[in-house]
Structure 1
């Protein structure tokens, strides 16, 4: 086993494909396959499951990935400290952002890191929070934003904000077309589209409507943010989302937004990281930059419906 094989293996898992990994690594796919076969033979266990849909790691491969990524990061850090001094920030940092927050944070984070830490290479993953949780637990992300406020096995959470939810679309009935708020009770039976049943936002809506003894009338499960917003804009159904979900959208394509009240619906958000490995200088720098950016976005009123936690207020 050598460093080259570890780098090859990590790339295959990251891209989910031998072909894509070979292309990115600038080597022939047969050569890459041979390297992986030798690695599996040496270890005596299969590391990758190959199918028509791509390549996924086995349980042994998941363990291999976590350790290989840590070894590669430590070597990267070693080189940086020897050539540029202890604490220098450089290397790749993988960051996972929920789809609703990516439009608010991704580009500003990229710009700030490029400006402040040119030695850091960001790797963005944008997805639903449940999948980001899985990537964090498997060591494929260094940092991620999850909708929770406490630690879970293998993951440390730093609460940074609470985000209010908004009704998007026209519910009709007793809700005035000119109102900027909407009582939750007015949404009983209103046609809604929402993410699928495993999504954290969907679970929050189900718990809230059940607690308030209201009829949650979800007419379609849609795991696509643009599609939910487009349907709300069309008037055929409403949806419930945070304001960050539409922060970068053209106002002409936006549905009417009303903050939900009596009671409000809020969800906590935390910056999270795997706690099974040390935090490197580059990861720490990106984490602190994320906290500061969140505070700045709220202060500039670019991110509505957000209440900052103490760590974000102090950093700002």
Structure 2
């Protein structure tokens, strides 16, 4: 098995289709299929589940995919270091940002890298945290900003700041002119929140249960723009990052939850299986600098 075959296999998994992967790789579909079959024969296990709707990896195939992504990233980094020099701030760096964090960090990050490191090609992935964790595990990202505070196997976790959560919308709850609202007043208020597997949802559920409050979730919505739109209409609220309500043009009421406050640690997470090059370190330093300078956006900032 060689790097070329690993690239073929990873592309098939990424596209979910042998025909689409063949087009992307500029080879014929029969040749690609033959390469995959050869890998399955070599390893002695099926790597793909084939159906009329496409292909998806088996459990052994998913394990191979994760290793393949790590190897391919190391290979590309090796080529870049040799061609550009190990200490050159150039090349592609992939960063994952949750949507609430991207609203504050993404544009400043792009602008600063354009000025300070014009040879760095930034790739930004904006999504829910769960998908970003999957991309990190699969070797698709060089780093991601995630809501966690503890070390995780395979990741170096560097705390950035504590994010205070706010009640968004529902101006009829408490004092709409106040910058905060007691959590007790949110008991029974209709809310839209992310699905039950989401970390934010779990934090909210645990806090409401601990305080003996009624959590009235009227819809599970794994889309930040949709939750904001619903909360903006005023009749149903949501509990989200306070920074979202403070963005220019947000047009939504956001009040920090207090008594007790709801907050979560935001950290910069970097896979430790692949050595970081100069470009990756430059992006990490830039993210940390933006966080320090935008402290007021989150109220409480950790030392970075």
TM-score by length of 1: 0.85
Say if 2:265 is the partner of 1:272.
Answer: no
Which residue does the alignment assign to 1:257?
254
Give SS of 1:310's match: coil
Which residue does the alignment assign to 1:193?
192
Distance 2:235 2:110 in 1: 36
Which residue does the alignment assign to 2:154?
154
Say if 2:300 is the partner of 1:307.
Answer: yes
Per-residue deviation, 1:213: 1.4
Per-residue deviation, 1:126: 2.3
Say if 2:294 is the partner of 1:297.
Answer: yes
Distance 1:39 1:114 in 2: 41
Matched positions, count: 304
Instruction: State whether residues 160 and 270 of structure 1, in contact with CA within 8 Å, keep that contact through their aligned partners in structure 2.
Output: yes
Distance 2:231 2:151 in 1: 35
Instruction: State whether residues 231 and 238 of structure 2, in contact with CA within 8 Å, keep that contact through their aligned partners in structure 1.
Output: yes
Which residue does the alignment assign to 2:102?
102
Which residue does the alignment assign to 1:209?
208
Cα 1:274–1:77, aligned 2, differ >3 Å: closer, same or farther?
Answer: closer
Which residue does the alignment assign to 1:314?
none
Give SS of 2:213's match: coil
Per-residue deviation, 1:129: 1.3
Give SS of 1:288's match: helix
1:64-75 pair list within 5 angstroms: 64-75=64-75
Unaligned runs of 5+ in 2: none
Instruction: State whether residues 163 and 268 of structure 1, in contact with CA within 8 Å, keep that contact through their aligned partners in structure 2.
Output: yes
Distance 2:239 2:138 in 1: 30
Per-residue deviation, 1:229: 1.0
Distance 2:115 2:41 in 1: 45
Distance 1:247 1:178 in 2: 15
CA RMSD in angstroms comes to 2.5
Per-residue deviation, 1:249: 6.3
Distance 1:199 1:42 in 2: 39
Distance 1:12 1:109 in 2: 32
